[in-house]
Chains A and B, each alone.
Chain A
């Protein structure tokens, strides 16, 4: 089937509104800057491919998180390097340098390190928790019961508490 070669304007608006989520997911699953760029490409491409089939009965954020996390986990499990990456010169997501307060930067690095040390599925759960998604939405995104979400979030909170008490 021939795919459309231009994105509908709504798609770009949606990506623009959610670029931070894409960036955060890429950051959580890839340490290497080139891998991150590759993953961002793959997530945006898969979102674009699925955009036409978006079911408005679902919340847009649920749909987006599902695709972005599925692509990130698949990318990570496939040996991180995606063979289909297209070489396109500049970066898809440009980051301007802005320095944060040293203490804040330190805590943020510790949090990123903590996230990166988690297993892939726990990492997904952690991101959703930090994004303050409801247990119901997390359950819909991950595919477990809300009770199970509550149990796992409880454990993550404990781990976080221990981790940050030593800082």
Chain B
């Protein structure tokens, strides 16, 4: 069978469909009404909840910090400040994702639209990477001037190396939690489970889109 015959086969299929399929107009009207009522998409709902929880948490921490910062040491204040800054950046990224969801235009060409969708799904990974930047905070909140002056050996030989290690780990995860590492074992172990599968699929699809464009 040559290509012309295959095209002809497809035409016969089309003719068969012309005779056999019919649209249920009443159901189309019903569908529009019911779909319009369920206006919010699950992805949007999930992100709205995440933003609401994040904002409530950040406001609560900021409130207590504002009222109690005079009682805390410089290092505790610095730790809370870094933690809050990271939370605010993460909330900002979720808001940005919501804007991107609202801007999705299905009438764009297929590659452009699918690229945006896949990038949107995969951007959740970036939020997790940013959250790792607060890792050093776990080694700064308990530092005090007393520790530095009265037990300098403990500060320089225990606290500082731990802080260095935590900073290294935080920055390493921030830089490496990226779809380009999705085939690595540590990445698979970290993002194992159904909740991550759509993000990993999006990552794979981004690669497919790039290959499709190149080949």
Contacts and interface: CB of A to CB of B under 8 A. Distances in A.
Interface residues of B, number: 56
Interface string B103-120: 001111111111001100
Contacts of B70: none
A150 interface: no
B48 to A, nearest CB: 16
Contact of B30 (A79, A88, A144): A88
B25 interface: yes
Given A84-B35, A160-B6, A66 B21 contact: no
B31 to A, nearest CB: 6
Given A6-B32, A12-B28, A86-B35, A50 B106 contact: yes
Contact of B32 (A48, A50, A157): A48
B201 A77 contact: yes
B205 interface: yes
Given A100-B16, A111-B9, A164-B1, A93 B24 contact: yes
Nearest to B2: A161
Contact of A142 (B12, B32, B110): B110
30 contacts: A19-B23, A23-B17, A23-B21, A24-B13, A24-B14, A54-B107, A63-B107, A66-B108, A66-B110, A69-B110, A70-B108, A73-B114, A84-B35, A88-B34, A89-B27, A92-B24, A92-B31, A94-B22, A95-B20, A95-B21, A98-B19, A108-B12, A119-B208, A121-B212, A122-B212, A124-B110, A142-B111, A143-B112, A144-B111, A165-B1
Interface of A: 3, 5-7, 12, 15-16, 19-20, 23-24, 41, 44-46, 48, 50, 53-54, 58, 63, 66-67, 69-71, 73-74, 77-79, 83-84, 86, 88-98, 100, 104, 107-108, 111, 119-122, 124, 130-132, 140-144, 148, 152, 157, 160-161, 164-165, 167
Interface of B: 1-3, 6-7, 9-10, 12-14, 16-25, 27-36, 38-39, 41-42, 105-114, 117-118, 197-198, 201-202, 205, 208-209, 212-213, 215
